[in-house]
Structure 1
Amino acid sequence: MIDGGRDSAMLRLTIGEAHARQGDIEAAMTHLRQAIALEPDYSAAWRALGRLQLKAGDEPAALETFRQGLEAARRRGDMQIVRELEVRVKRLEKS
């Protein structure tokens, strides 16, 4: 689909999550970053990227990603992700 010109943020999120399930964190992050590049307010992609960074042990990157995702979620009005990312940001700021 990507090669056929049907690239989208949702497609990249799906591919990124599939790579993450298979344990290929680097490929997953690459696709999630592309999802964000395609649609900067795609809060689900920000959340997924932050989770992977946290899983990889990169807390500073995860904190920054969650902060940016929080702003995207607020702009988009995605209150469920807003609440989740507020909690994640607070926890990371305390650690």
Structure 2
Amino acid sequence: MRESLEKMLAKGVDNSLLRFGLGKAWLDEGNGAEAAVHLARCVEQDPKYSAAWKLLGKAHQLQGDLAAARKAWEEGIVAAQAHGDKQAEKEMAVFLKKLNKTSG
């Protein structure tokens, strides 16, 4: 899956959906650094993509960058609220609450 998405990117296809797919694939493989690169590009291309914000936070958390995870989820909540994505908003609020408990 990831290989075919990377081939598309190499051919010049670059959009938020492709970047989301690549970010998710890298995250599924446990590579937060690569995932964060693609997910950050995804939200640059589509700042309202709340699912991408959610995964971007996860990617940063996986790398141990809790400040970046917090920032991604905070921005993601704003994006989710802006277009009524209640589920993503709730999930990111839970992630933030857990993060705040563990990081003090």
Q: Which runs of 4+ in 1 moved over 6 A?
A: none
What is the TM-score with the length of structure 1 in the denominator?
0.87
> Which residue of structure 1 lines up, in the alignment, with residue 72 of structure 2?
65
1:7 corresponding residue in structure 2: 14
Unaligned runs of 5+ in 1: none
Residue ranges of structure 2 left out of the alignment (5+ in a row): 1-7
Aligned ranges for residues 1-95 of structure 1 at < 5 Å?
A: 1-94=8-101, 95=104
* More moved, 61-70 vs 3-12: 3-12
Cα pair 2:48 2:80 within 8 Å, conserved: yes
Distance between the aligned counterparts of 2:89 and 2:79, measured in 1? 9
How far residue 81 of structure 1 moved from its aligned partner, in angstroms, is 0.5
For the aligned residue pairs, the C-alpha RMSD in angstroms reads 1.6
Tell me, yes or no, if the aligned pair for 2:39 and 2:52 is still in contact at 8 Å: yes
Which letter does structure 2 place at the counterpart of 1:19? W
Identity score, percent: 36
Q: What is the identity, as a one-letter code, of the residue corresponding to 2:34?
A: A
Distance 2:90 2:62 in 1: 20
Between Structure 1 and Structure 2, how many residues are aligned?
95
